[in-house]
Structure 1
Amino acid sequence: MIRLSRETLTALPAGVAAPAYDRARVSPGILHVGVGNFHRAHLAIYLDDLFAMGKSLDWGILGAGVRAPDADMRARLEAQDWLSTVVELEPGALRARVCGAMTGFAPVAPDNAPLIRAMCDPAIRIVSLTVTEGGYFLDSATGDFDANHPQMLADAANPDAPGSVFGAMLAALRRRRQASIPPFTVMSCDNIPGNGHVAMAALTGLARLHDPAFADWVEDNVAAPDGMVDRIAVVTDDARRAVIRDDFGIDDASPVFCEPFRQWVLEDRFPTGRPEFEAVGVTFAADVSAYEKMKLRVLNGGHACIAYPGALLDCHYAHDAMAHPLVAGFLDKVETEEIVPMVPPPPGQDLRDYLTLIKSRFANPEVKDTIARLCLDGSNRQPKFILPSTKDRVAQGAPVTGLALESALWCRYLAGGSETGREYALEDEQADRLRAAALTAKAEPAAFLGLRDIFGDLGEAPAFSTAFDEALTMLWRDGTAATLARYLSLPAGAPLGR
């Protein structure tokens, strides 16, 4: 077994690809905050491919982080010279490569002083982020920036020693402005609708708490392009580490496993330059929203469609759910009849082909994406991935039988216990409240739709509330399998009935 390092790149086991370029020629141009599996399977791979073409070698990645676990990641990667083994989970043919796009990692400190210094370097022209939705300090009720968040109030009171990434960016932007260094571009790589706008709202919202004039300058001078990112990168557990060790003969403290598919759509707003991303398959679009809507509703909404029936029918992985005829049939019928018709296709995109691709990705047995992961955080995911399609159909007077059944399946899941009585933990920040509402809804379905922070006015729409009532009543009375079978037997748009 070979321990991953700069010195062992020329001696990697057969079948493991090494960086196809001289890493000594790569210099940092992007500082990336949040060096997790997704980042190393997505942005880092696009750059690795670009460097292999001899292009954009001044756009290497300097890693960074603002949380204590980021220091652990830094230590692991430093010990192997910032290299990562990335395994693409092609069915029946796993492919491993070593990615060398990272050039270093800023030290992690509570006051973010090393991070701020690094962002002041004129060579850093892009600061990119994968900090998850919680890192943008959004109000869960409104979806807007939460100016009253304790971390934001603390950063406003201590702008020179901030604890958040946005506080650190503002501190660096102030110094760059004072030194007449052009501001960097802020590039969110998080799976959030309008992620560039969300990042800018956090930057300017925090700035307005202590320096409104500077907030105006940021708004006028800092670019934050929107982007849609897509690739499934799975959790690296002991079984995955064993694959790296036993199948590929590499000792890697932090390997990455991901599906073969990847996609990235970007708004082309980079005043201080950018890598030649178009050379490696990145799509540039003036309006990213059409691509976002397609992904959020068809892919993420599709995940929800297999998650809750899958859990109730004791499926462990996504590919198990796709092998279950009732779950796979439910996904196909809801997508084809109710979700896809409400999605305007992006330029040149056939949504039927996209749905076929999504189903094949879900069915990939090598990914082993767990149903439990797909079920978590429903209170945040349902309003973004499922309910927008439902609202659009209700507004047009179109049937919502399948989408109402999906919401009812979520409600039934929240009540606890699969069809065989298997218990599972509810992973949601509102778990107690949701379970209480779901249990009450067993006798009074309207109690669940009364969660206005989730359903808004939709819960009062007769077309949806009636369909939800019928679906939830049938789930409790007849069970998940019988309800799904009943739904699959219906003509398009027909009510489920009681």
Structure 2
Amino acid sequence: MTTKLSLATLTDVAKTAGVPAYGREDLKAGIVHFGVGNFHRAHQAVYLDDLFNLGLDHDWAIIGAGVLPSDAAMRAKLEGQDFLTTVVEQDNNRSGARVTGAMTGYLAPGNAAATVAQLTDPAIRIVSLTITEGGYFINPASGHFDPSHPAIAADAANPADPKTVFGLILAGLKARRDKDIPPYTVMSCDNIPGNGEVTHAAVSGLARLSDPDLADWIDGNVAFPNGMVDRITPATGAREIAIVADDYEIDDQWPVFCEEFKQWVLEDNFPEGRPELEKVGVQFVPDVAPYEHMKIRILNGGHAAIAYPAALLDIHFVHEAMEDADIRAFLAKLEREEIIPVIPPVPDTDLNDYFALIERRFSNPKIADTIPRLAQDGSNRQPKFILPSTADRLARGEDVTGLALVSALWCHYLAGTTDSGKPIPLNDPNADRIQAAASAAKDNPQAFLALDDIFGAVAQSDLFQQRFANALTSLQRDGTRETLKRYLGNSLSN
């Protein structure tokens, strides 16, 4: 028999799972967080829960904030269980569940006035974000904020009724400035190189469209620390809900499953204070960039590399892809020969040892992370996780056979069928446009590289064009398996 998760039932829940050692009544909100998805609840919320369990910093609880209409479903489920979350950590040798209580409320999407009022509260000293790589209005080719995006233009034209995350953050900052309340720190927790700088560009760039003086004030007064975050966190479905009910006897409508490993590296730039997160394992460093490059290119780039060959070979789970000898060898060769050599040194870190850790994490069968999750949103992920390594190698005059193969695999995947003929459902905000380019590439490989906003200057390289065309032709003629074998045998570039 299951117990419905709530504050009132924590005593019963404690029989099968860890529960907070603090009372909800002891917490006060200090953070507003946009993007209350699985990763946030398995990462930032867990670190804060650890800190609260030590009896520390109870004035740094989280208020969630929704922006998209789809956020309403998450809010309703969490509200029905007092904003508690069951987090199931799964390693190869153990599994365990805990209930976290760091979130004390959740602002409904569509109510800008209520959100801005919360942001204006002097107790809120940090605003954090996990809005995915595609949520920052970045031009993929240039890597810069795109002020012409329709959503940004709409918020610039009507700043009093913002619809985007950045419009809401900007409205909150304006209200605080007008009331002489110190500004909050804005902290991105997304997988973007220089995520603090990118967030600064979006907030300030939006302000400059309608209120240049406010933009200048933001540039001079608001902190945007860079950070690197890491924890593999698959999507929640009926399987995960059933496991929590069956194994832990907890009725949780949206539990989170994740690996045991987690990491958070932050620049210590919080003028209005911050929680003592170093007490629970967060690394505060002067420069996050080396850690970001390592993680985004080796881990996220590794995920992007294996996603498309696995999908084309009808493999559903990430650990199953790592059990495939050709895919595992492809990843290792790509990482060791093309990605790792162009990553700058990271303090006290051996990059080959780090990759060995990544291989073990990808191979964890208990996580049940899925290939469809890794394969989604390629138009935003490829320019951030794969193409920067390609550009760096080309700038150094080095070959890009494996990285061009990754791009070709993505193109072949976008054609819409696996090697066995099964249809591939695409999940990408630019699906129509990129799928049309992938279809045209069947006759002319350069048609795909003409997606300038994705490939940028990389597509102008004769070497990259040649390597991409060779790989795509091989995939179309001989299939994924044979193409991987040709790459592993060093014959793909011939």
The answer to whether TM tops 0.5 is: yes
For 1:483 and 1:244, the matched residues in 2 are separated by 41
Secondary structure of the residue aligned to 1:16 is: coil
- The Cα shift of 1:192 comes to 1.9
Task: Name the residue aligned to 1:226.
Answer: 226
CA distance in 1, matches of 2:137, 2:402: 33
Q: Which residue of 2 aligns with 1:243?
A: 243
C-alpha distance after superposition, 1:144-199 (max 9, x if no partner): 32323333333333323322232222222222223322111111112222211122
SS at match of 2:394: helix
CA distance, structure 2, for counterparts of residue 42 and residue 112 of structure 1: 26
What SS does the corresponding residue of 2:210 show, helix, strand or coil?
coil
Query: Is contact 1:111–1:161 with CA below 8 Å preserved after alignment?
Result: no
Give the C-alpha shift of residue 469 in structure 1. Answer: 2.6
The residue number in structure 1 matching 2:64 is 63
Q: Secondary structure at the match of 1:68?
A: coil
Aligned partner of residue 334 in structure 2, secondary structure: helix
Q: Give yes or no for the alignment of 1:444 onto 2:440.
A: no
Q: Which amino acid aligns with 2:260?
A: P
Aligned to 2:138: 138
Matches within 5 A, 1:148-167: 148-167=148-167
465-474 or 247-256, larger mean C-alpha shift? 465-474
- Whether 1:175 and 2:172 are equivalent positions in the alignment is no
Aligned AA (1:44): A
Of 70-79 and 179-188, deviating more is 70-79
Give yes or no for the alignment of 1:272 onto 2:258.
Answer: no
Counterpart-to-counterpart distance in 2, 1:305 and 1:337: 14
2:28 counterpart of 1:32: no
**Structure 2 residue 89 is the aligned partner of structure 1 residue 88:** yes
1:496 aligns to 2:485 (yes or no): no
**Alpha-carbon separation, structure 2, partners of 1:165 and 1:88:** 30
Write the letter of the residue equivalent to 2:72. Answer: A
Aligned pair in 2 of structure 1 residues 211, 432: CA closer, same or farther (>3 Å)?
A: closer
**Inter-partner Cα distance in structure 1 for 2:244 and 2:167:** 38
Q: Which residue of 2 aligns with 1:389?
A: 389
Deviations 1:375-431 (A, max 9, x none): 222222222211221222222222222222222222222223222212212323333
Q: CA deviation at 1:113?
A: 1.0
The yes-or-no answer on 1:45 pairing with 2:41 is no
1:36–1:446 Cα change, 3 Å: closer
Distance 1:451 1:160, change over 3 A: closer
Amino acid at match of 2:128: S
CA contact (8 A) 2:333 2:488 kept: yes
Tell me if structure 1 keeps the 8 A contact 2:189–2:227. Answer: yes
Q: Please tell me whether the aligned partners of residues 89 and 260 of structure 1 are also in contact (alpha carbons under 8 angstroms).
A: yes
Corresponding letter in the other structure for 1:427: N
Equivalence for 2:305: 305
Post-superposition shift, 1:462? 2.8
Q: Is the 8 A contact 1:394 1:400 kept in 2?
A: yes
Structure 1's 230 and 213: CA in aligned 2 closer, same or farther, altered over 3 A?
A: same
Displacement of 1:120: 1.4
In the alignment, structure 2 segments of 5+ residues that lack a partner are none
How far is 1:218 from its partner? 1.2
Amino acid at match of 2:314: D
Moved more, 183-192 or 76-85: 76-85
Contact 1:13 1:248 in 2 (8 A): no
Give the aligned residue type for 1:9: L
- Please name the residue that 2:370 is paired with: 370
Which SS does the other structure have where 1:291 is aligned?
A: helix
CA deviation after TM superposition for structure 1 residue 127, in Å: 1.0
TM-score by length of 2: 0.95
Tell me the residue number matched to 1:12: 13
- 2:231/2:263 contact within 8 Å kept: yes
Task: Return the alpha-carbon distance in structure 1 between the equivalents of residues 312 and 76 of structure 2.
Answer: 41
Question: 2:327 maps to which residue?
Answer: 327
Structure 1 residues 154 and 413: CA distance shift in structure 2, 3 A? closer
Residue 293 of structure 1: aligned partner: 293
Partner of 2:76: 75
Residue 111 of structure 1 deviates from its aligned partner by: 4.4
- Cα distance, 1:4–1:194 mapped onto 2, change above 3 Å: same
Q: 1:412 to 1:173 in 2, by over 3 A?
A: closer
The 10-residue stretch of structure 1 (353-362 or 472-481) with the greater mean CA deviation from structure 2: 472-481
For 1:30 and 1:8, the matched residues in 2 are separated by 26
Q: After alignment, is 138-147 or 97-106 more displaced? A: 138-147
Alpha-carbon deviation of 1:116?
A: 1.1
Query: Distance between the aligned counterparts of 1:458 and 1:154, measured in 2?
Result: 32
CA displacement 1:87-130 (0-9 Å, x = unmatched): 11223532100001112223x25341111111111111111112
Instruction: Compute the displacement of 1:278 (Å).
Output: 0.9
Answer whether contact 2:33 2:65 (CA < 8 A) is retained: yes
What is the distance in 1 between the residues matched to 2:300 and 2:117?
Answer: 38
Deviations 1:211-256 (A, max 9, x none): 1111111111111111111112221111111111111101112211
TM-score by length of 1: 0.94
Return 290-299 or 172-181, whichever deviates more: 172-181
2:323·2:363 contact (CA, 8 Å) conserved in 1? yes
Give the length in aligned residue pairs: 493
Mark the CA change 1:457 to 1:90 in structure 2 (over 3 Å): closer, same or farther: same
Q: In structure 2, do the counterparts of structure 1 residues 263 and 413 end up closer, same or farther at CA, with 3 Å as the change threshold?
A: same
The answer as to whether partners of 2:120 and 2:173 remain within 8 angstroms in 1 is: yes
Farther-moved stretch of structure 1 (263-272 vs 399-408): 399-408
Structure 1 partner of 2:341: 341
Partner of 1:205: 205
| Separation in structure 2 between the aligned mates of residue 162 and residue 441 of structure 1, nearest angstrom | 40
Q: Deviation digits for residues 37-72 of structure 1, max 9, x if unmatched?
A: 111111100001111112212111122222333333
SS of 1:7 mapped into structure 2: helix
Query: How much is the aligned-residue C-alpha RMSD, in angstroms?
Result: 1.9
Q: Retained in 2: the 8 A contact 1:13–1:249? A: no
| 1:71 aligned partner, one-letter code | A
Matched, 1:217 2:213: no
Is the contact between residue 111 and residue 162 of structure 1 (CA under 8 Å) also seen in structure 2? no
